[in-house]
Amino acid sequence: MISIKDLSKVFKTKDQDVRAVDKLNLSIDKGEIFGVIGYSGAGKSTFIRLLNRLEEPTSGNIQMNDQNLTGLSKNKLRIARQEIGMIFQHFNLLWSRTVFDNIAFPLEIAGIAKSKRVERVNELIELVGLSGRGNSYPSQLSGGQKQRVGIARALANNPKVLLCDEATSALDPETTDSILDLLVNINEKLGLTIVLITHEMHVIRKICHRVAVMESGRIVEAGDVLDVFLHPKEKVTKRFVDQVMGDPDREDSLHLINQNYKAGEVIQLHFVGENTNQALISELSREFTIDVNILHGKITQTQKGAYGTMLVQLVGDQDEVDRSIAYIKTTSVEVEVSPDV
């Protein structure tokens, strides 16, 4: 769907050449939500702006929707861009136009007849959850509502790809979640490919299928979100994963558990992937004559399933406790008896 080969962008400034994107290679599949994460200065904004040639590449190739985007003339690029929607951190709305007219704008440019425009805008207003707000001006809307207008406008011409440039960075956590839910919803409903850049691992965890980590203009690590979360290789990736995976209270909890829970066995369960869930706990107490005492845990959901760890105490006859541990070992949940800090 999107194939990027040796893409580079060098900004020539008075003092020096800045290699913002440096021989970047990446493939993005049709219909996936692909996240690129990196710290400030990694080159994310430049990268996403290269994808619709808001920024002209210095060298390299972008193949998108069966077209060589990098080779298109200005005229052909204008047409190709109708298949690429984009939303921005600061929304980039037209402040003197109503919600309705903002969304209608790209349709006007595309030369769509008025009656068709009205129909399409009303459809989009409903899709993004802004029914009844068509006559409002951007200044009368909350940040989340403004981004909904941005999304509706980006979808107006039925693009195949939606580029999101830090689309939730200006929003509070709750509003961020509602916008992310909307993006998942339109990805599923419309089969739209979404490419987003962010510096927040929460965004990646919540909605992305695959992720690439960017540093100094290059992709240093990429893969399925769950794989990258579970086996981060690069230092920068580990720091991002800690943003959402870190369980700083675990060590304290384990000390207290070792002091206070002497009966039976304390075990650590490690949940990974889509086939595992907390139903194991109810299964254990149903199938074995033991009590299962949940002591500490952190389970996190991603688009590719749940992962996390849980400390539990199993209390009962030693035989029965042993049998239940042997059973857990036959499941996909990893188990560790008497875990260390």
Ligand X SMILES: Nc1ncnc2c1ncn2[C@@H]1O[C@H](COP(=O)(O)OP(=O)(O)OP(=O)(O)O)[C@@H](O)[C@H]1O
* Binder of ligand X out of 6, 11, 131, 238 (CB under 6 A): 11
Of 46 and 176, nearer to ligand X (C-beta) is 46
**Can you read off the two tokens belonging to residue 213?**
């980590």
Q: Name the CA dihedral angle for 103, 106, 107, 108, rounded to a multiple of 10 degrees.
A: 110
Of 14, 15, 40, 73, the one binding ligand X (CB under 6 A) is 40
The nearer residue to ligand X, 8 or 25, going by C-beta atoms, is 8
Q: Does 18 bind ligand X (CB under 6 A)?
A: yes
**Whole-number minimum distance, CB 44 to ligand X, in Å?**
4
Nearer to ligand X, 46 or 52 (CB): 46
In the complex, least distance from residue 12 CB atom to ligand X, rounded to whole angstroms: 8
Q: According to the binding rule CB under 6 A, does residue 309 interact with ligand X?
A: no
Size of the chain in residues: 341
Is 13 a binding residue for ligand X by CB under 6 A? The answer is: yes
Residue closer to ligand X by CB (options 11, 181) is: 11
The verdict on 191 binding ligand X (CB under 6 A) reads: no
Distance between CA atoms of residues 148 and 295, nearest Å: 41
State the minimum distance, in angstroms, from the CB of residue 56 to ligand X: 11
**By CB under 6 A, residue 218 contacts ligand X:** no
CB closer to ligand X out of 28 and 266: 28
CB 10 within 8 A of CB 203: no
Identify which of residues 18 and 54 has a Cβ nearer to ligand X in the complex: 18
- Which among 286, 265, 273, 291 has a CA at the least distance from the CA of 333? 273
Nearer Cβ to ligand X (25/277): 25
Contact 271, 299 (CB under 8 A): yes
Report the alpha-carbon distance of residue 265 to residue 257 in Å, rounded.
11
**Closest distance between ligand X and the C-beta of residue 48, in Å?**
8
* Region of 36-44, 65-73, 175-183, 229-237 interacting with ligand X (CB under 6 A): 36-44
> Of 20, 93, 314, 328, which one interacts with ligand X (CB under 6 A)?
20
Based on the shown chain and the rule CB under 6 A, indicate whether residue 139 belongs to the binding site for ligand X: no
Binding mask 41-70 for ligand X (x = CB under 6 A): xxxxxx------------------------
Select 160 or 218, whichever has its Cβ closest to ligand X.
218
CB under 8 Å to 323, separation ≥6 — which residues? 288
- Lay out the sheet containing 17-28: strands in order across: 17-28, 2-12, 59-64, 67-68
Q: How many helices (H) and strands (E) does the chain have?
A: 12, 14
Pick the closest to residue 83 from 24, 150, 9, 2 (CA basis): 2
Q: Rounded to an integer, what distance in angstroms lies between the CA atom of residue 142 and that of residue 226? A: 33
For 309, left (φ over 0), alpha (ψ -120 to 50), or beta?
beta
Tokens of 296: 């500490």
Q: Which residues contact 127 (CB under 8 A, 6 or more apart)?
A: 152, 155, 186, 189
Q: How far is the CB of 198 from ligand X (least distance, A)?
A: 9
The smaller minimum CB distance to ligand X, of residues 45 and 324, is found at 45
Query: Binding to ligand X by residue 38, rule CB under 6 A?
Result: yes
> Can you tell me the distance from the alpha carbon of 237 to that of 243, in angstroms, rounded to the nearest whole number?
10
Interacting residues toward ligand X by CB under 6 A: 11, 13, 18, 20, 38, 40-46
